[in-house]
Amino acid sequence: MSHARPLRVVVTGGAGRLGRSVVRALAAAGHDIVSIDREPAAGLPARQLTADLLDADAARGVFADARPDAVVHLAAIAVPGSRPDAEIFDVNTRLVWNVLEASLAAGARALMVASSPTVIGYGAPSGWTPSYLPLDEDHPVAPWNGYAASKVAVEEIMRMAVRRDGHRMRFAAFRPGYVIAPEEWAGAPTQQGHTIAERLADPALSAVALFNYLDARDAGDFVTAWIDGAHDVPNGEVFFVAAPDSLVDAPIASSLAAHVPLIAEAAAGLRGDAAVFSSARAERLLGWRARRTWRDELTERAASTVAPAPHPPEDDLV
């Protein structure tokens, strides 16, 4: 969204692992941020409101109070398998619907929604092989659990909104890689409990997601790039947003062959530490490219630290 003044941007889930970095990036770019979450976060450079966005009336009310120019929707059950599939699907789809309707009613002119790389279908118990690698946004989706299905639905709701409301509002969806918050480079547990050092020491932990990852600050930079340039790109775009390399200390082709043998043939053409997910569309349309890699960010202290027993997966809305 090209603009000549700071925008008021609502970030749902702004107190979460990803949300905090998105809020900080948008605020650093000069925007006026309102974070809406179930609980506030300390030190966030934003006005913080609390609301249950599963309640459509509450969502409309808090958005009417916030009066956003643009909305970034991150609130969701963020971990596959952390709750029953039916609950994950119900919660995530109701959230995006309520946020869409509340955004429109409040007069917002742009809405970006968070999807997930899991829509592609990797890890399916009955087997999955890609049509090609690296994966891009044109690759067919093949969800196999409630979380991935909810994210396909999120993207379809966004496309519906383009057809219905694209004459008055800009829309996009992004599929962020496995998000690494800044404190996790220094040894804090990642979303599913293990430290980065542990994930590198045991490649099987990251192989589940094809070794994809993304520094949360790079996600914030991407969201800011879209907010600032939404009118300069096609309405309703979907973007992969990931680091330019893979989270493994070995060649990616041999790592995939060892840990995900069904895709060994497709992976044979990947060179060095190349990413399995291509963010070329984001670079081409928005000039965005992730600037942070694990080799640069992982501190010596974190690399040599054995963390306590893993925490259970996050089970809250972030």
Q: Which tokens sit at 140?
A: 């067919």
CA-wise closest residue to 10 among 73, 60, 61? 73
Tokens encoding 189: 């547990």
pLDDT tens digits for 238-251? 999 999 999 999 99
Note the pLDDT tens digit of each residue in 84-134. 999 999 999 999 999 999 999 999 999 999 999 999 999 999 999 999 999
Question: What does the alpha-carbon distance between residue 130 and residue 155 come to, in Å, rounded to a whole number?
Answer: 20
How far apart, in whole angstroms, are the C-alpha atoms of residue 133 and residue 270? 8
Phi-psi region of 239 (alpha: psi -120 to 50; beta: other; left: phi over 0): beta
Torsion of CA 47, 50, 54, 55, to 10 degrees: -110
* pLDDT given at position 192: 87
Contacts of 284 (CB under 8 A, 6+ apart): none
Domains contained in the chain, CATH given: 8-177+215-243+277-291 (3.40.50.720)
Residues lower than pLDDT 70 in the chain? 1-4, 300-318
The predicted structure's pLDDT at residue 108: 99
